[in-house]
Amino acid sequence: MLSARHGTWDPRPSIWGTRTLVKLLADGQDVAVLKTEALDSSGRWVPTAGDMVRFTVSGPGRIIGVGNGDPNSHENDKAPGRSLYNGLAQAIVQSTQTAGEIHVTASAGQRSGQFTANVVIVSKSV
């Protein structure tokens, strides 16, 4: 038996989700790819969201690239932000040679209010 379900989502995303805990080696080479997606108040993905997401890092890590999967995007891949494409964006965070907690914040909200998501990356000594 085949069934289909149709629904709508809140056009104003209220949650910007990313992974909540990642572990890296503090070798200056290890990286984590953090996925950021627009979710509505019910936790459903919002594929029409196109807000600019800004990424900031504190602690022993750095952003080495951003992306969104849009083959027509001319946005800088090394910038601290990226617009959502189909409700998605990502940041690539690299460890340094210092162990510790790397705090990454993704914030957005030019079109739909201000929203943030935080992720903690644990960088361990080699």
| CATH code, domain carrying 114 | 2.60.40.10
Q: What average pLDDT does this structure show over 71-94?
A: 94
Torsion of CA 113, 42, 122, 116, to 10 degrees: 0
Domain assignment of residue 38, given as a range: 15-124
The pTM for the full model equals 0.83
> Does a structural domain hold residue 8?
no
> Does a structural domain hold residue 91?
yes
Least confident of 3-17, 24-38, 44-58, 73-87: 3-17
> Does a structural domain hold residue 95?
yes
> Does a structural domain hold residue 106?
yes
> Does a structural domain hold residue 9?
no
Question: Which position has the higher pLDDT, 3 or 46?
Answer: 46
For residue 116, the tally of other CB atoms under 10 A from its CB is: 14
Say if strands 15-17 and 61-67 run parallel, antiparallel, or are unpaired. Answer: unpaired
